[in-house]
Structure 1
Amino acid sequence: MQYQAILFDLDDTLYDLRSYWRGRLHEALDAVLARYPHFERDALVHQAIREKVYIERLPAFLRAQGVDDEALIASAKSMFERDWFARLVLNDDAPATLRALRPRFKLGLVTNGPSRTQRPKIAQFGLDDYLDLLIVSEEVGVAKPDPAIFHMALEQLGVAPAQALYVGDSLEFDLPGADAAGMPFVWMNPRGEPFPEHLPRPLHEIQRLTELVALLG
């Protein structure tokens, strides 16, 4: 198949959200752990990630764990959100990969999330310099895994589903959405996690973005 376009997910595909999130939680919880030494740091951070505790949810999360020092809670939240977007960085091989692919393919982004979180990331990463299309789910009123958001991107790029790859990490949103839209899917799996047998197989699995360049010849 001669592909004409490549669409990317953003979070945990073009940059490592999970590692960044874990590091920021470690910072934010330092003072809490000093005041409440019975907490085990890694277990608390793991629980926060499992419960998808982002900035606005941190105070409620801490109260649910029994933290009752409101000044400390406010301080932890302030530490957590400080320079949140300014300290984000793309995967180290992302810029070179996008530069290598752009002369040969139309490139686009299809990301779930609100504009207030996704647009600052796009600006921080300078993705306008690399991509021909940027779609944020809140702005178009539909989100992955609904195939409609993929069809919007394909229509704007002027390519058929079979002529475009979708590269993403989420087996909950990216894989079923791309599959329903008729797009081949490349699974970004940097941690080498096992693939669930009950799901449709991706076209390829990669651990680093630069593998796309070799994959596409």
Structure 2
Amino acid sequence: MTIQAVMFDFSGTLFRLEQNSSWLSELTTPDGAPLDVEAQTELMRRMTAPTGQVVELSAEYQYAWENRDLDPALHRKIYLEVLRKSDIADPRQAEALYDRLIDPAEWTPYPDTEAAIKDTAAKGVKVGVLSNIAFDIRPAFAMRGLTEFIDAFLLSFEEGFIKPQPQVFQLLMDKLGVAPENTLMVGDSEEADGGAKALGCEFALVDPLPTTERPDGLLTALRSYGVV
């Protein structure tokens, strides 16, 4: 087996939406009290969890949850509801927090993201980014000078498929011009990203820890498959 292409997940893999005290500290509960650290941490988990439903929902919002990464309007609708159900009662606070969630400039790369992408490309291995997402993440790479090292992006809301549907992995492999047996998928979700295994791809799981706690998870995964 020779790895000819690596497909990277985005959230929790290459980048992470970090808990930022400068704007979470502005949030208040319905009685006007500030959110404590535990509540802030739980809120960020709910806003970034790759799989699994984070709050109970009515039928209307259940549909939005299941299709959130296919339609930006549904994505906004469901996450504003998640915030409301997480005791962020002020609509202005919820809107402001949501806008930060979908701002690529707010996302933090892992310490080895740049090296993982550049070193993979330097070995002549194709690089793809595959994300269940409802907003354009390309600016996060462009502002760090990484776009030129990525051969293809595939974003669920642009294609109409989400991981672990096999079509989404196949679409990116077609863009990269590689076969499944020569492809490695790197991601933080066994359920979503691990779906690539059904097509015959290799899969490396990384832990979506805070960026300060995972200095070399990507490079370790790539080395285990002889990519870098």
TM-score (norm 1): 0.72
Which of 1 and 2 has higher RCO (CA within 8 Å, sep 6+)?
Answer: 2
Alignment correspondent of 1:134? 153
State the Cα distance separating 1:141 from its structure 2 match. 1.7
Alignment correspondent of 2:32? 36
* Cα distance in structure 2, aligned partners of 1:46 and 1:158: 40
Equivalent AA in structure 2 for residue 108 of structure 1:
G
For the 8 Å contact 1:48–1:61, the answer to whether it is kept is no
Aligned counterpart in structure 2 of residue 81 of structure 1, from 89, 95, 99: 99
TM-score (norm 2): 0.69
* Cα distance in structure 2, aligned partners of 1:59 and 1:157: 36
* Cα distance in structure 1, aligned partners of 2:87 and 2:116: 46
For the 8 Å contact 2:83–2:94, the answer to whether it is kept is no
Alignment correspondent of 2:20? 23
Cα distance change, pair 132–48 in 1 and its aligned pair in 2 (3 A): closer
Q: Does 1:103 align with 2:122?
A: yes
Alignment correspondent of 1:214? 223
For the 8 Å contact 2:27–2:35, the answer to whether it is kept is no
* Cα distance in structure 2, aligned partners of 1:23 and 1:111: 23
User: Alignment length, in residue pairs?
Assistant: 194
* Cα distance in structure 2, aligned partners of 1:37 and 1:155: 52
Superposition pairs of residues 44-193 of structure 1, within 5 angstroms: 45-47=41-43, 49-50=45-46, 51=54, 60-61=81-82, 63-64=84-85, 70=90, 73-75=91-93, 77-78=95-96, 81=99, 84-104=103-123, 105-114=125-134, 116-175=135-194, 177-189=195-207, 191=209
1:188-213 C-alpha deviation (Å, 9 max, x unpaired): 1254xxxxxxxxxxxxxx96112145
> How much is the aligned-residue C-alpha RMSD, in angstroms?
3.4
Alignment correspondent of 1:12? 12
Q: Secondary structure at the match of 1:166?
A: strand
* Cα distance in structure 2, aligned partners of 1:188 and 1:127: 21
For the 8 Å contact 1:8–1:110, the answer to whether it is kept is yes
* Cα distance in structure 2, aligned partners of 1:138 and 1:64: 25
* Cα distance in structure 1, aligned partners of 2:79 and 2:157: 23
State the Cα distance separating 1:182 from its structure 2 match. 1.2
Please, which moves more after superposition, 31-40 or 141-150? Answer: 31-40
* Cα distance in structure 2, aligned partners of 1:67 and 1:145: 31
Larger radius of gyration, structure 1 or 2? 1
